[in-house]
C-alpha cells in the first residue's frame, strides 16, 4: 500500500496585516492510504517525494465601496511554497464556501489554484486537493478559516490586507516510477538522491510554448505572500536564541546585584 503523509504545520501558521504575526504549533501527520491494485505503474521502494505547499487567504476591506453584504474582497488559494507551478502534482482543487454563496462548491481545474470572491462574514473554507492518477487516488482535505479583520489596533485599511497562510509538506512514500520521472527535475518537488540502479521511464515532453503558466511568481497578490524557506526559519531560530541569551544575561545581572546587596548571600557564597 502507498502512504501519502501530510506534515501539517498548523502551529506554524503565519498571519499579518501590514505587520507580520506568527504562531507556532506541533506537527501533525495525516495519512492517506492507496491500494496497489489501483495503480498499474511500478512503485519505487524506500523513497519519499516531498511537495511543500502553502494555502491561505488574503482579504481587502472595500472602504467606501463596501455595503451590507459586501465589505471585503478576498482570495483563497493553494500555491507552491516558492510559488512554483503545482500542476505537475495537483490535478484540481475544490473550495467549499459558505452555503450562502451561489454555487458554494468551486472547482479550479488548472493552476494557479486561486479563487476570488466578495462577502461580509468570516467562515471556514474546506479545501480538497486532488492529485494526478500516477500520484495518488485519494484526495487531501484541508481546512482554512477566512479572516477579514486584523487583530491589530490599526483599524480597517483598503491598502493593507489581512493575510493568513499555512505551510504544509505533502510527503509521498514509495512513489510510482512514472510520477518520479515527471517530477525529477521540477522546482516545486523535492526528490532525494536516487539509487544508481534505478531506471526510470522517459518523462513526457511538454510544449513549453503551449503550456499555460501555472506558477504564482508574478501573481498580483504576490507581494503579500509570506516567504516560507529554511533561511527564514533559521533566522527566526537565531532571533529566538538571541532573545534567550539576552534574558539569561539579564537574570545574571540581577543575581549579581542581589548578591552584592545581601550579606547573607555573600556569606553563603563564600
pLDDT at 211: 54
pLDDT at 250: 84
CA atoms within 13 Å, Cβ hemisphere of 173: 15
Beta strands per DSSP E along 62-189? 72-80, 90-96, 105-108, 113-119, 124-131, 140-145, 162-173
**How confident is residue 29, by pLDDT bands cut at 50, 70 and 90?**
very low
Taking the CB of residue 106, how many other CB atoms lie within 10 A of it? 15
pLDDT higher than 70, residue 97: yes
Q: Where are the alpha helices (DSSP H) in the chain?
A: 177-183, 230-261, 263-269
Proportion of the chain above pLDDT 70, given as a percent: 72
Q: What is the pLDDT of residues 146-170, one digit of tens each?
A: 999 988 756 788 889 999 999 888 9
Least confident of 8-12, 238-242, 265-269: 8-12
Q: Within its chain, how far is the Cα of 156 from the centroid?
A: 26
pLDDT at 19: 39
Q: Mean of the pLDDT values across residues 118-126?
A: 97
Nearest to 78 by CA among 106, 53, 96: 53
- Distances in Å between the alpha carbon of 256 and those of 210, 248, 264, 270? 72, 12, 13, 14
What is the H or E stretch that residue 33 is in?
Answer: strand 28-34
Residue 80 contacts residue 86 (beta carbons within 8 Å): yes
Ramachandran angles phi, psi of 147, nearest 5°: -115, 125
Residue whose C-alpha cell reads 531506471 in the numeric block: 199
pLDDT at 144: 97
The mean pLDDT of the chain is 79
pLDDT at 114: 97
Q: Mean of the pLDDT values across residues 72-100?
A: 95
Residue whose C-alpha cell reads 549579581 in the numeric block: 256
pTM over 0.75: no
What is the distance between the alpha carbons of residues 81 and 22, in angstroms, rounded to a whole number?
Answer: 17
Q: What is the pLDDT of residues 194-229, one digit of tens each?
A: 887 777 877 666 644 445 678 898 899 989 898 876
**Three-class DSSP labels, 179-205:** HHHHHCCCCCCECCCCCCCCCCCCCCC
Q: Mean of the pLDDT values across residues 6-26?
A: 41
pLDDT at 214: 83
What is the distance between the alpha carbons of residues 75 and 179, in angstroms, rounded to a whole number?
Answer: 30
pLDDT at 44: 78
Amino acid at each position: 500500500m502507498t502512504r501519502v503523509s501530510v506534515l501539517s504545520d498548523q502551529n506554524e501558521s503565519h498571519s499579518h496585516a501590514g505587520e507580520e504575526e506568527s504562531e507556532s504549533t506541533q506537527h501533525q501527520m495525516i495519512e492517506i492510504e492507496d491500494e496497489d491494485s489501483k495503480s498499474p505503474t511500478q512503485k519505487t521502494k524506500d523513497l519519499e517525494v516531498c511537495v511543500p505547499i502553502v494555502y491561505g487567504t488574503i482579504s481587502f476591506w472595500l472602504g467606501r465601496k463596501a455595503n451590507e453584504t459586501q465589505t471585503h474582497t478576498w482570495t483563497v488559494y493553494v500555491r507552491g511554497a516558492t510559488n512554483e507551478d503545482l500542476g505537475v502534482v495537483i490535478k484540481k482543487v475544490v473550495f467549499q464556501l459558505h452555503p450562502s454563496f451561489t454555487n458554494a462548491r468551486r472547482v479550479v481545474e488548472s493552476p494557479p489554484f486561486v479563487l476570488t470572491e466578495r462577502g461580509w462574514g468570516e467562515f471556514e473554507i474546506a479545501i480538497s486537493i486532488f492529485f494526478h492518477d500516477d500520484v495518488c487516488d485519494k484526495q487531501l482535505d484541508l481546512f482554512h478559516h477566512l479572516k477579514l479583520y486584523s487583530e491589530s489596533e490599526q483599524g480597517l485599511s483598503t491598502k493593507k490586507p489581512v493575510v493568513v497562510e499555512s505551510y504544509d509538506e505533502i510527503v509521498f512514500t514509495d512513489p510510482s516510477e512514472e510520477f518520479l520521472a515527471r517530477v525529477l527535475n521540477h522546482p516545486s518537488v523535492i526528490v532525494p538522491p536516487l539509487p544508481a540502479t534505478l531506471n526510470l521511464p522517459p518523462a513526457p515532453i511538454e510544449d513549453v510554448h503551449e503550456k499555460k503558466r501555472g506558477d504564482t511568481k508574478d501573481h498580483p497578490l504576490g507581494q503579500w505572500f509570506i516567504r516560507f524557506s529554511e533561511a527564514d526559519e533559521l533566522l527566526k531560530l537565531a532571533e529566538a536564541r538571541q532573545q534567550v541569551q539576552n534574558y539569561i544575561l539579564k537574570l545574571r545581572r540581577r543575581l549579581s546585584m542581589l548578591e552584592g546587596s545581601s550579606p547573607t548571600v555573600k556569606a553563603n557564597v563564600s
